[in-house]
Copies of this chain bind each other. A is one copy, B any other.
Amino acid sequence: MNFELDPTLAADTLEFVSFELCDVRLMNDARFPWLILVPRRHAAVEILDLDRADQDFLWSEIRFAAGVLRAVYRPDKLNIGALGNQVAQLHVHVIARFHGDAAWPAPVWGSGPARRYEHERDKRLDELKAMLAETRPSVR
């Protein structure tokens, strides 16, 4: 079966870039620089569902995404999590957190309604893409 992005994830996120294993999407919540990595593997729910090679790709892509967020935003903390209690399709959150952001020091999940991007969307995508281009020219 082919991979299809979960409709809730599709509705909550914006297309950003495609890595070797994962679609990397921007959470449509302007309160936090927040990437979602979704391995393009049909029916994957747990990290343990991936084969070993994909698990290693995932780790590499998580670290790469975290490095990009760190380079662009200089956050006080990175938050990385694979939860999936509400959306079963395997996805990993990589989030730049700041002292005093809308949820600090709590996790972003359950921190109230998202503030959808308006005019800041292109700026955010552009600054992320610029850093990607700098650090990984071969990204598709």
Name A's B-contacting residues (CB within 8 A): 45-48, 55-56, 59, 63, 66-67, 70, 77-86, 97, 104-107, 109-110
- Are B59 and A46 touching (Cβ within 8 A)? no
Q: Besides the contacts A48-B63, A80-B81, A85-B105, what 9 more A-B pairs have beta carbons closer than 8 Å?
A: A47-B78, A47-B80, A56-B59, A77-B84, A77-B85, A80-B82, A81-B82, A83-B107, A110-B110
Partner of A85 from B46, B84, B85, B104 at Cβ < 8 Å: B104
What B residues does A79 contact at CB under 8 A?
81-85
- Are B48 and A78 touching (Cβ within 8 A)? yes
Q: How far is the CB of A110 from chain B (nearest CB, A)?
A: 5
